[in-house]
């Protein structure tokens, strides 16, 4: 097989893996739900070494992060904001998403508990998406 064909096959495979990962991550910005120009972001920063990897290696790296629940999709605006906050050491603000997620699962937990104990009233909030 000619070299360029192998390369395009490889990159196609990497593209498919990337698409799959995007879908696994919900296909939208974790903060504002935008669906365009999404970027992958390690929730807890693990440095920038992976930015210098080849695409297939990066995808593998991102999948590993995803399996450790440390990956999210962000739109460029939210990504910049997070990076900015990280750089200014506002770690708590930078990881608002992690807090929001914890709060969301707490709300869901309460709703499930209510359901379990037969307490009615109060629609399940859709604001906590
Ligand atoms: Zn966003």
Secondary structure element (H or E) that encloses residue 114, with its range: helix 96-116
pTM of the model: 0.61
Distance 53 CA to ligand 1 centre (A): 25
Residue of 70 and 9 predicted with greater confidence: 70
Distance 28 CA to ligand 1 centre (A): 8
Q: Which domain holds residue 13?
A: 3-75
Residue 122 belongs to some domain of the structure: no
Distance 112 CA to ligand 1 centre (A): 29
Residues with CB under 5 A from ligand 1 (ion): 29, 31-32, 34, 75, 78
Distance 115 CA to ligand 1 centre (A): 33
Distance 105 CA to ligand 1 centre (A): 20
Strand partners, 73: 40
**Mean pLDDT over residues 48-55, rounded?**
87
The span from the CA of 72 to the CA of 43, in Å, is 6
Distance 50 CA to ligand 1 centre (A): 22
Residue 70 belongs to some domain of the structure: yes
The span from the CA of 38 to the CA of 77, in Å, is 10
Task: Choose the weakest-confidence range: 20-24, 31-35, 121-125.
Answer: 121-125
Residue 102 belongs to some domain of the structure: no
Residue of 110 and 103 predicted with greater confidence: 110
Residue 69 belongs to some domain of the structure: yes
The span from the CA of 64 to the CA of 59, in Å, is 9
Distance 129 CA to ligand 1 centre (A): 14
The span from the CA of 111 to the CA of 106, in Å, is 9
Look at the chain and report how many structural domains it folds into. Answer: 1
């Amino acid at each position: 097989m000619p070299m360029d064909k192998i390369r395009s096959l490889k990159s196609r495979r990497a593209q498919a893996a990337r698409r799959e990962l995007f879908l696994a991550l919900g296909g939208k910005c974790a903060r504002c739900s935008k669906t365009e120009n999404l970027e992958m972001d390690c929730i807890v920063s693990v440095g920038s070494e992976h930015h210098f990897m080849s695409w297939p290696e990066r995808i593998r790296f991102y999948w590993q992060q995803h399996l450790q629940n440390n990956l999210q999709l962000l739109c460029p605006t939210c990504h910049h904001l997070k990076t900015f906050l990280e750089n200014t050491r506002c770690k708590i603000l930078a990881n608002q998403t992690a807090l929001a997620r914890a709060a969301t699962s707490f709300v869901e937990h309460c709703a499930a508990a209510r359901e379990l104990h037969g307490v009615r009233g109060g629609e399940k909030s859709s604001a906590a998406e």
